[in-house]
Structure formats: C-alpha cells, structure tokens
Amino acid sequence: MDKFTTHTGVGVPLRRSNVDTDQIIPAEYLKSVARTGFEHGLFAAWRKDETFVLNNPSYAAGSVLVAGPDFGTGSSREHAVWALMNYGFRVVISSRFADIFRGNSGKQGLLTAQASKRDVELIWGVLENEPGAEVTVDLRSKTITAKGLSVPFELDDYTRWRLLEGLDDIGLTLTHEAEVTSFEAKRPGYMPTTTGV
Amino acid sequence: MAGTLAEKVWDAHVVRRAQGEPDLLYIDLHLLHEVTSPQAFDGLRLAGRSVRRPDLTLATEDHNVPTTPGPITDPVSKTQVETLRRNCVEFGVRLFPMGDVDQGIVHVVSPQLGLTQPGMTIVCGDSHTSTHGAFGALAFGIGTSEVEHVLATQALSLTPFKTLAVNVDGELPAGVTAKDVVLAVIARVGTAGGQGYVIEFRGTAIQALSMEARMTVCNMSIEAGARAGMIAPDQTTFDYLQGRPHAPTGADWDAAVAQWSTLRSEDDAVFDAEIHLDAAGLTPFVTWGTNPGQGLPLSASVPYPESFEDESDQASARRALEYMGLTAGTPLKEIRVDTVFVGSCTNGRIEDLRAAAAVLRGHQVAEGVRMLVVPGSTRVRLQAESEGLDTVFTDAGAEWRLAGCSMCLGMNPDQLAPGERSASTSNRNFEGRQGKGGRTHLVSPVVAAATALRGTLSSPADL
C-alpha cells in the first residue's frame, strides 16, 4: 500500500446524506472478479441524471469527495471503496461514516476524514462558489484546506499510522503468528470444524 | 462496560492486545460466498500465501444463483461462481455449490448445520453475518480485504465495539412477528443510531422467540448501523442445536452447554447505551421509504416530510416519496403492489414459509400480483415440500423457487423492473436495491402473504 501523507485535488460537493453502498456501487457491478474497472459503476444510478454533481465538467476530475453525514451505510461491499478509488478519489470527507465502510477504506488507503457537520457545510460553500477548486487534505496535521478555509478532521490513530507508513494489514498480523498458534492450541475441543461429518 | 455478553465473547478471543493498537481477535468460523471472495483469493495467490485453517472455512453459492432450474446464463455471474469453485479446490475449502443438498443462503446454511454455536466469533464478507448473533456468537460482516486477512491469518484486527442493550419486554400481540420487532427497533434507533455498537437484544419478548425468529432480529442489526447483534443463548438455543450435524455430542456436548450457559450479561452489567420497547405496544410494521429506518405501523399513513424535525430527515423523506412514487397522507394499506417476495436470509426459513402458507391456504393471489416464494436453503426447500407447503403456494398462484438470495438484491435474474413495487420479506429498501427503479416495502412473511391476497399492503387481520 502506498504511503498517504497529503493529497491535493479537486473537491466534489455531494449534498446527500445517508449515501448507502447500493448507491455508491449497485449490485450488478459486484459480479466482477477483478479489483479494477469499478469506476463505471460509481454512483451509476445517480449519474444517469445530468444534474448529478459528477456530470458537471468542473467536478468530473474530482479526487476529494465531500459528502453529507452517514456515508457508506448498508452492505459490506468493499467494491464501494474500489469504485471510489478506481474513479480517482483519494479522500472522502463526511461528518459520520458507517463502520464497515470506514474499515474497508482504511484497508485500501482511501482516507475517510471525519469533519464536523458545520465544517462540511463550509467546504461545500467554497466548492460550490468556485467549481474546480482544489482541496488539500494533510494526514500529518489532520487538516483540510480549501481556499482560505482550514478545518480539522479526525481519524483513529492506528489507521492514521498505517496510512502514513503505507503498512499492509496482513503483513503486520503475520508478525504475530506465533501468538495465533499458541491461542489455537488452547481452544476447547468441542468447538466445531467445517470438515464433512 | 463490565460483564456484557459481547465483552465476554470478545475477551475470550483476544490473541493479542497492545497499547494504542486494535485487538487481534481469533476467528472461529469464516463463511464465504462467491461475491466477496474472488479478489481475496487472488490476493493470497499473489502473495504466495495459503488458507491457514481450511477446516474453519466454509463456502456456498447464493447471491448469483438463479432460483429456476438450469445453469447460470449471465456470463459475468457464471464467471464469479466458477471462480469460487476453482478457488475452493485450489485452497482446500469445503464448498456447497448449486445442486448440492446443503447449498443455500450462507446465513441459513451455517445455522441449519449446527455450525453456528454460542460464544463463537464468526465472520463473512456480507453485512448480514450479524444473523448468527442469534446464537450468542459475535458475528459480523467484513470487506474483501478482511476476508483475505482472515483466510491468511485466521484473525482480525479490531477495535472493541460499544454495547447497546435493546430491551423488549412483555408479550407480542397476535400477528406481530420478529420482523415487526426489528423494524420497529430500527425506526426508533435510526439507520445510524447503532454505529460503533454491538446490540444485545434482551427481555422477555426476545426470550420467547424461536431461534429462527431470533435470527430475523439479529439479521437486521446492521440496518440500525450496528456492527453486530446478539442474543444470549438459553435452553431454546441448546434444544435447536442438539443433534445437528456439527453440534458437539456426548461429553463434548455437556462441556459445551456448561460453557455456553455462562454466556449471558451479568445482572450488574453496564451497557454504553440502553433502550426499552414495550412488546404489547408493537403492531405489524412496514417501510414506506428508501432506507430500513423509514418505517411505520401498517395502520399509519405515508408521512409528511415537514413532520420530521431534522432538516436532513425532511430532505431524505422528500426524496424517498419521490422515488417511491408516494403521496404524503396516503394510508399505507392503500398502497398497491405488483410483486411479493417471501425469502432472503431475513425471512427464508421453514417457520417463515409455514407462516406465509397458513395465510395463503385456500385463497388466491390477487390479480396483477406476482408472488415469489424462495426457500433460504435446499434443505429448507425439501422440508417445506415434505410438509406440502409448496402445493399451498402454487395452488394459491405463487411461484415456488429453488434456494438463493433471489430478489433481495439485483444480482440474479429475480429483479423488479423500473417502477415495480414489492412487498418483500428481505432487509433493504434502498433505491434500486431489488432492481433499477424498483420500489421496495419491507414486511413480515404474514404481511407479505396477506398483501399478495389483497393486492395492497395488508396484514392477516385485514383479510
């Protein structure tokens, strides 16, 4: 995983709350067995509407999505994260993220920057005032900057550390393999296995 | 936060705990299906890793499978299913493919085998993994990267969840089912209210529920934003499990039951949050909008957006009414549907089918209504057929199908066409969930059956 220290890109104001993962990537796109190509499914239903924000040329090259609260609710489909990243997004800013979505994002290096509702409104104001304006998200200082505006965001320390260092979760866990083995040795004998009976 | 059921199960699975880091938890059972596993196996292959515990891993085919006889015709679906088959052979994972008597929806398959047991940690690349919490297991959905992680290490790095006690006490009135209970809970808590929490469902009304009904409740914990939902195991749980293929036997059974009996929250356990519902006050509940929290008693009317306090709830409601083609003030019982779906990991088990059949028996599905009845697993299908339920459904004019996720989500041939409106026993009513432009009302099996007979949202009491 690449290190994430700071990112600057066009901000996209998505004035919707409770954006569920069926909207981020509809089920029909989940049939793919690849990890790429999901950009075509990103917000597929909403993009049919020509007034949808991503259909506005000023925002089309956006890489910082700024959304209303409760982003990523519903299904555990990590494809939602892949769709956002395949499209080009590196950061999603919202005042609240659904747990599974937030976790999935952390695994892939999509930064879920949690800012206050008020600050999200302020950022929306800047982006709508000047379509195509860039937003800088600095993971080291945990700040979001857009034109004259500078606001803080939150991310748990552990994920922040992993993203800053570009560390792979599985590699980290395997450094503790001996502890997994010793735990296994102590599991009760009545616990089931999936072996055919 | 001391002494809750969730905490007891969590603590028993900590492999490693370190300051400033998430806990490393051992995973007792990893369930797989074809949609969220391909990229995980690819990741293993690329890194030259194997599945650490194939004997704690089980796969089934469910999301893509057609529920009518014959092969998968959609080439992309076919590839996905064939990929799972190749991966299972290559990595030594047991698989129940289409045509196998043990095949079905993953969250129906594991419990019916007695593989889901109290006190286990159970994960799957599917948010409705919370279903297994009905047994007092800590069970939750994970994304594909975590699927890969569990395949490689049989462990997961997690930060402990907070605990939310949902107490439902009293006796449920006749006609009020587990589905109505959980829809009422979600309406109360909201789709984000449970975020960061594991819900423990408690109280006399919960204890009175059968295992299948408990599974319905825990299944939809995720719709309240919670990561997991649990119900403490008791005699109902032990009676369900005893004799099932993967349940312990002999001395192992006794040892297991002794341990399982300790899996309950202490009397002085402190939860991070707590809510109370009075069972006697509950009624058949349905959703009107485009998220599972937008629900009301069936006797109510489509709400006015202005009636919501929060501005963003008002905007949500306005949008939902537009998408759903509904007018505020319309009694819910006047909403006409063209499709009724009984099935899914929420309500696709034998008791759900019996309940729907009891309503339909001797009657006819209304003109203009298409009804699909989809058993949650092949074994449920065979059980239903041995009880003659299939004949009840087909005599009434409903379609009796093979097991699979079916119309719950638009990934297989069972879908709504744009503008079609369903009464569905599944778990999500998001825009386009059952098919582009499809309109979904979430209901219980008996409401689904009554609706099919009358053509408008109804409960058996309306017949």
Answer yes or no: do A195 and B55 touch at CB < 8 A. yes
In sequence order, what E strands does B103-247 have?
121-124, 138-141, 155-158, 162-169, 197-202, 228-230
- What is the C-alpha separation between B360 and A150, in angstroms, rounded? 62
pLDDT band at B88 (very low <50, low <70, confident <90, very high): very high
pLDDT of residue A85: 96
Residues of B in contact with A195 (CB under 8 A): 55, 94
Average pLDDT of the residues in A100-105: 95
pLDDT of residue A2: 83
Cβ contact B326:B302 at 8 Å: yes
Across the interface, of B191, B246, B248, the residue whose CB is closest to A18 is B191
**What digits encode the pLDDT tens for the residues B247-268?**
999 999 999 999 999 999 999 9
Answer yes or no: do A104 and B315 touch at CB < 8 A. no
Rounded to the nearest 10 degrees, the angle between the axes of helix B38-47 and helix B144-153 is: 50
3-state secondary structure of A73: strand
Q: What is the pTM of this model?
A: 0.92
Residues of B in contact with A169 (CB under 8 A): 145, 149, 157
Nearest CA in chain A to B126: A76
Answer yes or no: do B24 and A27 touch at CB < 8 A. no
- What is the C-alpha separation between B178 and B168, in angstroms, rounded? 11
Answer yes or no: do B24 and A184 touch at CB < 8 A. no
- What is the C-alpha separation between A173 and B144, in angstroms, rounded? 16
Here the tokens at position A83 are 């769709």
Min Cα distance B364 → chain A (Å) is: 33
pLDDT of residue B142: 96
Answer yes or no: do B255 and A190 touch at CB < 8 A. yes
Nearest CA in chain A to B116: A192
Across the interface, of A74, A107, A188, the residue whose CB is closest to B259 is A188
Fill in the amino acid letter for A89: F
Number of Cβ within a 10 Å radius of residue B309: 7
Answer yes or no: do B157 and A99 touch at CB < 8 A. no
Across the interface, of B145, B154, B432, the residue whose CB is closest to A45 is B432
**What digits encode the pLDDT tens for the residues B352-394?**
999 999 999 999 999 999 999 999 999 999 999 999 999 999 9
Nearest CA in chain A to B12: A187
**What digits encode the pLDDT tens for the residues B57-69?**
999 999 999 999 9
